[in-house]
Structure 1
Amino acid sequence: MDANNRNHRFLDPGSLSSWIERFAAELAAQRYTPLTIEGYTSSARHFAAWLGSAGISIDVIDDDVVRRFAEHRCRCPGGRQWLRISPKYSRRAGRFVVFLQKAGIARPPLKVTSPYPLLVDYQSWLRVHRGLSERTIVRHLRDLHKLLPELGTATLDYDAARVRNVVREWRERTGPANLRTITSALRSYLRFLAGVGLCRPNLDHAIPPVLQWRLSSLPRYLAAADVERVIASCDQLTRGRLRDRAILLLLARLGLRAGDVAGLRLSDIEWTSGMLRLSGKARRQVRLPLPQDVGDALLAYIEQERPRVHQEAVFLTMIAPYQSFAQSSHISTIVALALKRAGISDPPSTGACLLRHSAATTMLRSGATLEAVGTVLRHRSLDMTAHYAKVDVAMLEQIAQPWPGELPC
């Protein structure tokens, strides 16, 4: 008798048997392989049998019960002599518990209440009125949880001196880059409070600026030939070749941000007009022309490689469950791996912004105006686009003045 049949025979899941079958059906609907499904159901069957032997009823299952299962010294039926359950095994049992919670069989997880109720309204304000991304909202809330213990919750008592003192204390604890992020969150929170009448107005002006030299560094970019090598490196892949090629072309030809690519939806591609609809920062809607090679790459990926699942996102993971990218950093990881495959050992950076900067630099050197480049990159201010003028050496040579030391006295 093989191990699989032995586990089925000795491990009695009791009343959860039918739910394990439904769990397997859900995994199959998400395109998991039979081998992976068997691994999940074996963990679920073991967990259900342990519940019965430990005398734990289904309605009290929670994260603590899963932890106890992971730490128990297994002497369960089936010839097991395990000192400890492996983390992967216990995570699979935890996945079964999540399935039971969604089905209403196990009690839902406890909601962690924030000690600062105003942050709930502030979060909604950021999402609805400011149009910030969920990632930015999470960052603001994380920074405010650091500040509010010192700032206090009596918002009507806030004054300029208290705000400055809090910022001054954090200036001693962290670096300039992190301090800029923290003060940005604090300014936003004070504007929200003033708008709903919970603190005196204009307190955000009391926050001292964090000094920095704007646009002092050169843009990090790749030469046009290196960009093509990066795109061609996708041919080395056996899985995800068409997907990664389409992603790299979007970054290199249109200068999209990583978040733009991760959030791209099927309905955003206007095949008839050859346009791409994007929702940028603060929900600003723009339409960009779709170059021929980018459109061809997108079509090839969607028709030949994209999993056939009901997902609106264009780009999905290549293993089940087929989902959209949870974070835009996954797009930067694709770029980093492509740089490595292309043999570019010392790139100026390894994120998706490297191809965005390269696209801007190439457009400028090809004769595009700063206004045109700024339109493609969707810059709010031309000052940001002017940053790329520093890499147009040919133009700079025409306006450069001779060194004063070479002139006669």
Structure 2
Amino acid sequence: MNATDYLNRSALYRKLVYGPYREFAGVYAVKMSNEGLGRQCTWRSLSLFRDLMDWHVGNGHAPQDLNEIHVDRFLEHRFKHWKPDSGDRSALRRLLLALREKGLIPAALPIQRSEHEMIVDVFGQYLSTERGLAAATVGSHKLLSLRFLREVCPFGADEFAALTPEIVIGYVERHALDGSADSGKAMCGVVRAFLRYLHLKGFISTPLADCVPSIRRWRLAGLPTFLPPEKVQKVLDACDRTTAMGSRDYAVLMILAKLGLRASEVATLNLDDIDWQSGTILVHGKGRRQATMPLRHDVGTAIVAYIRHGRPASACHRVFLRTLAPHVGFASGCAITMIAKQALERAGIDGYAHHGAHLFRHSLATDLLRSGASFAEIGQLLRHRSIDSTRIYAKLDIEKLRELSLPWPGGVQ
């Protein structure tokens, strides 16, 4: 039962539309119906709306004065007496958005930004406009830069002049082991880029970027984790394609396993990116690069089955949508990674170092290499910038490595 069906039968909604908050309740109901919310979510949202308005008016506020501050105070009060629900905040954000669209409450109050945040915001704009970095990369740079800035300059830009190589090196030494070696290396790269930006814009007079230590990390030292073809097929067969979610997950896994796309590339795939007549697919890859790839028949069949029988009606142009309302595309590739992880668990496949979408990309490359494909062909399919990124799969070709190995002194042991 969707929101529209529930609202037509709901005694709670009838009480609200004939009560003092009738105008607000009607606008909120239209919003929930348009987003296709289910019965339980609609009931929960209406109950939360009723409690919010009773609390808000009961504390001497006019209904039209409702804003984020009042919502936060209401939730703080509510959580003292009832167990919080994960959807409460999103439900009330939906309410405020619906009321503002109709002009029933004032626009949102401007968010007060600290000096640190404003400096990092300008740094993010520089990375996006002048360096051409993707939004996700800019976001991670801003997060790490803000952390660095708050620690080494807690009082803001006035302390830039006091920055020294010793302070920068001390920060790196304190945080280099906060995560993995790769995380530490990424942190050093961001700090180096941020210091270079500060010097370029005249915030600091000394070029401190060169004093950021480097974290030793052997390039391509690890082995790619991969699944043999029979286990990949086991994962695909474990999808229940009779359900909407199962058909979606199967189509996602087919793209990962047969085309080798990254999780973010699957998440951002649009309906317009598929050319059914020519049998090609436009991939929006890393670094804002685009590539046209051939669409395999079995992958296209899986996508068509999902679009016809599993994809909910939505104005969103993304190929893959949330099964729960609102029916919109995924916010990032993390959702695709979760689909892959759940599929592996469903198939009973464990014992691997990595459980995510990239596992299928490694599996495809390894299978192609063992089938006789060249590194150039694999690199072209995976859209690697450098052949070095593809050569790592040579470590997995055991038979060819045996031909290159030297005999053990003294014969076979």
TM-score, with structure 2 as normaliser: 0.86
Report 1:376-395 matches (<5 A).
376-395=381-400
1:382–1:158 distance in 2 versus 1, CA, 3 Å: farther
> Residue 114 and residue 135 in structure 1: after superposition, are their counterparts in 2 closer, same or farther (change >3 A)?
farther
State whether residues 229 and 342 of structure 1, in contact with CA within 8 Å, keep that contact through their aligned partners in structure 2.
yes
What residue in structure 2 maps to residue 99 of structure 1?
98
CA shift at 1:47, angstroms?
Answer: 2.2
Residue 366 of structure 1 is aligned with which of 330, 348, 371? 371
Per the TM alignment, residue 280 of structure 1 is displaced from its structure 2 partner at its CA by 1.5
CA contact (8 A) 1:242 1:297 kept: yes
> Structure 1 CA distance, aligned partners of 2:191 and 2:51?
49
Which amino acid is 1:84 matched to?
A: H
Aligned equivalent of 1:307: 312
Q: Displacement, 1:8?
A: 5.0
- CA deviations on 1:44-81 (whole Å, 9 max, x unpaired) are 133223333322123442344224434558xxxxxxxx
The 3 A distance-change label for structure 1 pair 271 and 203 is: farther
State the partner residue of 1:121: 122
Equivalent residue, structure 2, for 1:168? 173
Shift of 1:86: 4.4
2:3 equivalent in structure 1:
none
Q: CA deviation at 1:114?
A: 3.1
1:84 to 2:94 alignment: no
- Relative to structure 1, is the Cα distance of residues 281 and 6 closer, same or farther in structure 2, using a 3 angstrom cutoff? closer
Q: What one-letter code is carried by the residue in structure 2 that aligns with 1:275?
A: T
The offset of 1:98, in angstroms, is: 4.1
Residue 195 of structure 2 aligns with an amino acid whose one-letter code is L
Match of 2:5 in 1: none
* 1:271 counterpart letter in structure 2: W
Q: Is the 8 A contact 1:258 1:329 kept in 2?
A: yes
Greater shift, 135-144 or 64-73, is seen at 64-73
Given that 1:130 and 1:282 are in contact with CA atoms closer than 8 Å, whether structure 2 keeps it comes out as no
Asked whether the equivalents of residues 278 and 286 of structure 1 are also in contact (C-alpha less than 8 Å), the reply is yes
Q: 1:192 aligns with which of 188, 197, 202?
A: 197
Q: 1:250 to 1:9 in 2, by over 3 A?
A: closer
| Paired residue secondary structure (2:128) | helix
Matches within 5 A, 1:197-212: 197-199=202-204, 203-212=208-217
CA distance in 2, matches of 1:376, 1:202: 41
- Contact kept, 8 Å, 2:337 with 2:357, in 1: the verdict is yes
Alignment of 1:147-186 (within 5 A): 147-152=148-153, 153=157, 155=160, 160-171=165-176, 176-186=181-191
Contact 1:97–1:106, Cα closer than 8 Å, also in 2: no
* Residue 12 (structure 1) shift: 7.3
The answer to whether the 8 A contact 1:220-1:349 is kept is yes
Deviation at 1:113, TM superposition (A): 0.3
For the 8 Å contact 2:123–2:197, the answer to whether it is kept is: yes
Deviates more, 1:267-276 or 1:45-54: 45-54
Are the structure 2 counterparts of residues 12 and 94 from structure 1 closer, same or farther at C-alpha, using a change threshold of 3 Å? farther
Q: Which runs of 5+ in 1 are unaligned?
A: 74-81
The more displaced of 255-264 and 345-354 is 345-354
Q: Shift of residue 259 of structure 1? A: 0.6
**Contact residue 27 and residue 99 of structure 2 kept, 8 A:** no
1:287 counterpart SS class: strand
* Structure 2 CA distance for aligned equivalents of residues 197 and 273 of structure 1: 52
User: Post-superposition shift, 1:40?
Assistant: 1.8
2:38 paired with 1:33: yes
User: In percent, how many aligned pairs have the same letter?
Assistant: 32
Taking the TM superposition and a 5 Å limit, the aligned residue runs for 1:276-287 are: 276-287=281-292
Partners in 2 of 1:139 and 1:38 — Cα distance? 38
Q: Does the 8 Å CA contact 1:70/1:84 hold for their aligned counterparts?
A: no
Matches of 2:349 and 2:51, distance apart in 1: 48
SS of the residue 2:238 aligns to: helix
- Deviation of 1:166 after TM superposition, in Å, equals 2.9
1:353 is displaced (CA, Å) by: 0.8
Q: Which residue of 1 aligns with 2:221?
A: 216
- Is 2:134 the counterpart of 1:133? yes
SS at match of 1:141: helix
TM-superposed CA distance for 1:38, in Å, is 3.5
Secondary structure of the structure 2 residue equivalent to 1:406: coil
Query: For residues 314-357 of structure 1, what are the alpha-carbon distances to aligned partners after superposition, in whole Å with 9 as ceiling and x for unaligned?
Result: 11011111011123111111111111222223334211111011
Length-normalised TM-score, structure 1: 0.86
Contact kept, 8 Å, 1:244 with 1:334, in 2: the verdict is: yes
Alignment partner, residue 143 of structure 2: 142
CA distance in 1, matches of 2:251, 2:15: 49
Question: Structure 2 CA distance, aligned partners of 1:218 and 1:171?
Answer: 23
Q: Which residue of 1 aligns with 2:4?
A: none
Secondary structure of the corresponding residue to residue 234 of structure 1? coil
The one-letter code of the counterpart of 1:135 is A
1:333 corresponds in structure 2 to: 338
